[in-house]
Amino acid sequence: MELLDDSVVPEHARAVKQEAREFAQEHIAPAAQEYHNSGEYPWDILEAGMDAGLVAQDIGEEWGGRGLDLYEIFAIAEEFYRADAGIGLTMMLASFGAEIVEEYGSEEQKEEFLRPVAENEQITGLAVSEPDTGSDLAGMTTSADLDEEAGEWVINGEKYWIGNAVEADWVTLYAKTGDGEDRYSNYSMFIVPTDAPGYEAEHIPEKIGMRASKQGHIVFDDCRIPEENLVGTEGAGFYILAEFFNHGRIVVGGHGLGLAAAAIEEAWEFTHGRQAFGRDVSDFQAVQHILADMRMEFEAARALNWRAAEKVVENENGGFWAAMAKTKSTEVANFCAERAMQLHGGRSILQDRRISRVYRDVRIPVVYEGANEIQRNLIYRQAQF
C-alpha cells in the first residue's frame, strides 16, 4: 500500500519527495519511539537532515539554500510526518520565520541572519502566540517601543508555544508597535537574537505528543534590539503574517496527511492476518467499512490539499484554500487515528505502539498555525459564491 504516491505531485517536486522518503526511512522512523519516550531534542537527526539538504532549503539559492518551492516543502512534510511527527516538526521548524526575513527583510538582514540559516549554521523560531492569546493576531499584547535616542527597540511581554524558543539563535517576533483604531495595523515584525539582553526562555513542560519537538515560553523584560532589526514596514506585521500563514497552512495540511497515512498503514497491517472468531479480522464487513471510510477521507483530503497548494502558489484566493486544506487534512488525521485505535483494541494504548504515538500527535496540528475553528471563520468569510 503506497498512500503517499507521487501521482498527484507536480513532476518537479518528485525528486525531493523521494529524498525525503529515503531520509525518513533511514533516520526518522527507526528513532521515532526512542525520542518520543525520552522527549529529547533530536539534534543528531536534525544535523543529518541538514547534511542531506532537507532543512531550511526553501530559502533562495542566492542566500545559500536550494530555493525549494511550496510544492516541494509540502511533499517533504508528508514524508517526514508519516515517519514521525515530533522529529518531523523539529526538522521543519529549524527555519520557521526565516521566510519572512527573506520576503520582507533588508539585504543586510538577509546577509547577517538569513544566510547562516540557509547554510545550516543557525536555527530560528517564530514568536507569535502568547499565554492568553493564540489565534487572535490583532489581540497580542507583547510590545515593542522605539527608544529613538538609543536607536533601539525595547520589547516587553511574553510569548508561548514557540518552537525552538530555547534552541534558536534568533526568532522572528510579532509585536505591537501602535495603538490606532485600525487594530490590524498596530503590529510589526522583528529579528530578535536569543542572546539579546532581556530575552529569557524556558521549555514548556512535557507534552503528550510530538515530544521530540521543543516549544518554549519566552519572557521579554526590556529586551533591547537594534532599530534596524525591524523587518519590513512598521505596522505591516499582521498583513505579513496573514500571507505567511497561507503557505504555512498548506504545509500543515501535509503534516496531517502524513499522520493519516501512518494511521491507515497501522490499521491495515494490524487487521490483515490477525484472527478472531476463526476468521481473519479484515474479513469482517464492519472492519472493511472502517478501512474504506479511512481511505476515502484520506484521498479526499489529499486531493484538496494539493489543489489548494496550486491555488496559493497562483495567488487565487489563497487564504480560503489554505484554510480548507489545513482543516480537512488535520481533521482527517484525527479521524483515521481514532478509527485505527479502535481497530487495534486494547493494544492501541500500549506505549510502544506506533498507533498510540500517532494518536497523541494528531491532536496538535488541529491547533497550531491557527485553530481549526478560526479556519472555519476564514473559509466562510473568504468563500466566493
Cβ partners under 8 Å of residue 346, min gap 6? none
Active-site position among 149, 314, 369, 373: 369
State yes or no: is 369 an active-site residue.
yes
State the angle between helix axes of 70-83 and 85-93 in degrees (0 to 180), rounded to the nearest 10.
Answer: 150
Between CA 37 and CA 39 the distance in angstroms is 6
Between CA 302 and CA 321 the distance in angstroms is 13
Are 331 and 255 within 8 A, CB to CB? no
Count CB-CB contacts under 10 A for residue 370. 21
Are 327 and 320 within 8 A, CB to CB? no
Question: What is the H or E stretch that residue 276 is in?
Answer: strand 275-276
Are 31 and 42 within 8 A, CB to CB? yes
Between CA 116 and CA 56 the distance in angstroms is 10
Angle at 130 between CA 132 and CA 101, to 5 degrees: 155
End-to-end Cα separation, the chain, in angstroms: 38
Question: What is the H or E stretch that residue 319 is in?
Answer: helix 318-344
Under DSSP, the state recorded for 248 is: H
Q: How far is CA 270 from CA 3, 143, 263, 341, 345, in A?
A: 16, 52, 11, 10, 10
Cell triple for 179: 495603538
Supply the residues annotated as catalytic. 369
